[in-house]
């Protein structure tokens, strides 16, 4: 079964450094998402992306965050200047369009980001 893949599985970065988290969504999916889960807390929505532009973003997704689909397969999340509170598990998800809007989102295994 097709999967969403994320790399790296664990990223350790110094505070203030830029970090790029990478995702390869399922190939025929057109909706893409980033979520994060701070340790011990709920999964929170960051941003959704469709047709090469951001569709919706949460309050968490401030100017330090950006997303990009640089080619036909990758979907990236960049944090420009990381803060300690950015430490979390980041999940990428994708969703197909066939079958209507109620299709489920498929999640990757996540990237654990640790800011030192």
- For the bound state, the minimum distance from the C-beta of residue 48 to another protein, rounded and expressed in Å, comes to 4
Closer residue to another protein (CB): 14 or 42: 42
Q: Which of 1, 4, 60 is nearest to 32 (CA)?
A: 4
DSSP three-state, residue 84: helix
The reply to whether 108 sits near another protein by the rule CB under 8 A is: yes
Which residues in 24-63 contact another protein (CB under 8 A)? 31, 33, 35, 41-45, 48-50, 55-56, 58
Alpha-carbon distance values, 12 to 61, 69, 81, 82, 105 (Å): 20, 23, 14, 11, 27
Count of CB atoms situated within 10 Å of the CB of 93: 23
Closer residue to another protein (CB): 19 or 96: 96
Which residues in 76-95 contact another protein (CB under 8 A)? 91, 93, 95
């Amino acid at each position: 079964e097709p999967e969403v893949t994320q790399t790296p599985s664990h990223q350790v970065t110094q505070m203030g450094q830029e970090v790029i988290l990478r995702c390869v969504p399922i190939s025929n999916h057109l909706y893409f998402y980033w979520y994060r889960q701070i340790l011990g807390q709920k999964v929170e929505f960051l941003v959704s992306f469709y047709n090469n532009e951001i569709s919706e973003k949460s309050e968490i997704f401030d100017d330090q965050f950006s997303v990009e689909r640089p080619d036909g397969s990758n979907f990236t999340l960049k944090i420009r200047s990381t803060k300690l509170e950015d430490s979390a598990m980041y999940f990428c998800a994708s969703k197909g369009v066939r079958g209507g809007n109620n299709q489920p989102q498929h999640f990757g295994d996540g990237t654990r980001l640790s800011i030192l």
